[in-house]
Amino acid sequence: MHDPHCLFCKIIVGQIPSRKVYEDDEIFAFHDIHPWAPVHFLMVPRLHLPSLAHAQSEHAALLGRMMALAPRLALEQGCKPYPEGGFRVVVNTGLEGGQEIHHLHVHVMGGPRPWLKG
């Protein structure tokens, strides 16, 4: 299910170009266009799910796959390994949570202290 007005849905189907990091039948990952860290990419479900607040029990496996995939992709994109290196995973939810695009997305950020910006 796609929303024809959703920016991330358009990226997933190739209507808007992106710098792809990964894709499979359920997940699409691409570089953030305004990175806050040396490594900063987004992981989105192909399914249009407006936010984490909309996730139900039937989405548990998808969310688990996204979290399990994040460490592998972070390393592939240049993050140093745990424990000296690492990365940050952020899911903004709703307007007060800082969500700007209403399609669930997971920010994966790594490098020297990227979260000092906010």
Name the band, by pLDDT with cuts 50, 70 and 90, for residue 1: confident
Q: Is residue 1 part of a domain?
A: no
Which tens digit of pLDDT belongs to each residue from 32-79? 999 999 999 999 999 999 999 999 999 999 999 999 999 999 999 999
* Percent of the chain clearing pLDDT 70 (strictly above): 95
> Which tokens sit at 68?
């399990």
> Which tokens sit at 109?
């950020």
Q: Is residue 2 part of a domain?
A: no
> What's the domain range around 61?
7-117
> Which tokens sit at 86?
């690492």
> Which tokens sit at 45?
């479900």
- Write the CB contacts of 9 (distance below 8 Å, at least 6 apart in sequence): 2, 3, 48, 103
What total of structural domains would you count in the chain? 1
> Which tokens sit at 89?
């995973």
> What secondary structure, in 3-state letters, does 1-58 show?
CCCCCCHHHHHHCCCCCCCEEEECCCEEEEECCCCCCCEEEEEEECCCCCCHHHCCHH
- Whole-prediction pTM: 0.93
Q: Is residue 45 part of a domain?
A: yes
Catalytic sites, residue numbers: 105
* Cα–Cα distance measured from residue 118 to residue 104, given in angstroms and rounded to the nearest whole number: 20
Which CATH number does the domain housing residue 38 bear? Answer: 3.30.428.10
Strand partners, 109: 40, 88
